[in-house]
C-alpha cells in the first residue's frame, strides 16, 4: 500500500470532499481569446465524449447503489450539499401548482441535480424531471437511468406536453453554447413558470466575453469555449420574455480572473413569469 493510499484511509471523508470541491473549482483556468467561437474551438483541446459519459455513468451507478449521495461532473460526494436557492425555487413553483412540479433540466447530465435535490422534494404530489441533453447522454440515460420521475430528451421537440407551466433549470450550461441567448429565447418559448440560472459565470460589462476554459486533469483533461455572460444582457432577455427577477445569489465556484486580468463571478438567479 502506498503512502498516499495509507494517508487517504486516515483522512475524514468530509476533508477529502472539501479538497475535491476546492480543486474542482479553483483548478479551473480561463484564457481570453480575441477571435470568435470558431477560433476559440480551434484553441481548445475538446474532450473525449465517450470517456466523459462513461465516467458520469459510473459515478451515477455509485449513487444509485447508495455508495455516494450525489455526483457532479463525475466526482462523487458522500455528504448532502443542497443548492438551497434551487430547491426553494422548485418548491415555490410546486406550491403554486397544487404540489405538482415539471422540470426541464437543460444540460442536466444523467440527472445530477435531480439526485442532489430529490431528498428535499418528498412532499410533492407529483414530480416529473426531464433532462435536455446531448444525444450521447440521452442514450445512456434512457438505457440505464430512466424512471417514472426522470426522463431524457435530446431536443425541445422530444419533450412531452406539460400539464402546467414547467420550471426551466439552467445549471452550468448557457456558458458552453455557441449562441447562449438564442438558446435561452428558444427555451423561453415553452413559457416556463420560472427560470433558475445556476453556476454561471457573469460579469458587469455590457458584452459577453469569450474565453477558453481549462478543466483540471483531476476531473478530466479538456478545454473548450466558455462565455462569461453579461449579467445585464441576460436580465434583459428574461425581462423581454415577461419574467421578473425574484432572487440573485452567489455560487460555490466564486470569483475568477482570466489570464488577461478580466474579473468575473459565478452567480445564480431566479426569475418568475409576470402574472397579468
CATH number at residue 228: 3.40.50.150
Q: What share of the chain is helix, strand, coil (3-state, %, to 5)?
A: 35, 30, 30
Asked if residues 19 and 25 have their Cβ atoms less than 8 Å apart, the reply is no
Q: Helices marked H in the chain — which ranges? A: 3-10, 13-26, 37-42, 49-64, 84-95, 112-117, 135-140, 180-188, 231-240
Record the cell numbers describing residue 264, joined without a space: 468575473
**pTM, two decimal places:** 0.88
Stretch among 40-49, 131-140, 145-154, 168-177 having the lowest mean pLDDT: 40-49
Domains contained in the chain, number: 1
d(CA 144, CA 136) in angstroms, rounded, equals 13
pLDDT given at position 216: 79
Per-residue pLDDT tens for 99-147? 999 999 999 999 999 999 999 999 899 999 999 999 999 999 999 999 9
Per-residue pLDDT tens for 180-210? 999 999 999 999 999 999 999 999 999 999 9
| Helix 231-240 × helix 180-188 angle, to 10° | 20
The helix/strand/coil state of 46 is: strand
Does 13 score more than 60 pLDDT? Answer: no
* Cα–chain center distance at 65: 23
- Mean pLDDT, range 245-258, rounded to an integer: 95
pLDDT given at position 20: 42
- Phi and psi angles of residue 182, each rounded to the nearest 5 degrees, phi first: -70, -40
d(CA 237, CA 234) in angstroms, rounded, equals 5
Q: Show the domain range for 206.
A: 3-273
Amino acid at each position: 500500500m502506498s503512502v498516499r493510499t495509507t494517508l487517504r484511509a486516515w483522512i475524514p471523508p468530509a476533508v477529502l470532499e472539501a479538497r475535491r470541491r476546492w480543486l474542482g473549482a479553483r483548478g479551473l483556468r480561463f484564457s481570453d481569446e480575441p477571435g470568435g467561437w470558431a477560433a476559440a474551438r480551434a484553441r481548445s483541446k475538446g474532450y473525449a465524449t465517450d470517456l466523459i459519459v462513461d465516467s458520469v455513468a459510473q459515478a451515477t451507478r455509485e449513487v444509485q447503489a447508495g455508495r455516494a449521495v450525489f455526483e457532479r461532473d463525475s466526482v462523487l460526494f458522500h455528504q448532502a450539499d443542497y443548492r438551497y436557492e434551487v430547491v426553494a425555487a422548485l418548491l415555490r413553483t410546486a406550491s403554486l401548482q397544487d404540489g405538482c412540479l415539471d422540470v426541464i433540466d437543460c444540460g442536466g447530465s444523467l440527472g445530477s441535480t435531480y439526485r442532489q435535490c430529490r431528498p428535499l422534494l418528498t412532499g410533492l404530489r407529483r414530480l416529473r424531471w426531464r433532462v435536455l441533453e446531448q444525444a450521447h447522454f440521452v442514450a445512456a440515460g434512457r438505457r440505464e437511468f430512466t424512471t417514472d420521475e426522470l426522463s431524457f430528451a435530446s431536443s425541445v421537440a422530444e419533450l412531452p406536453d406539460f400539464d402546467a407551466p414547467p420550471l426551466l433549470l439552467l445549471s452550468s450550461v448557457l456558458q458552453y453554447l455557441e449562441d447562449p441567448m438564442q438558446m435561452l429565447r428558444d427555451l423561453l418559448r415553452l413559457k416556463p413558470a420560472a427560470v433558475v440560472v445556476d453556476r454561471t459565470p457573469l460579469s458587469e460589462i455590457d458584452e459577453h466575453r469569450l474565453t477558453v476554459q481549462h478543466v483540471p486533469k483531476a476531473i478530466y483533461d479538456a478545454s473548450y469555449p466558455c462565455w462569461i455572460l453579461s449579467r445585464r444582457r441576460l436580465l434583459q432577455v428574461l425581462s423581454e420574455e415577461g419574467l421578473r427577477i425574484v432572487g440573485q445569489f452567489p455560487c460555490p465556484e466564486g470569483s475568477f480572473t482570466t489570464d488577461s486580468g478580466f474579473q468575473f463571478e459565478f452567480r445564480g438567479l431566479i426569475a418568475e413569469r409576470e402574472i397579468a
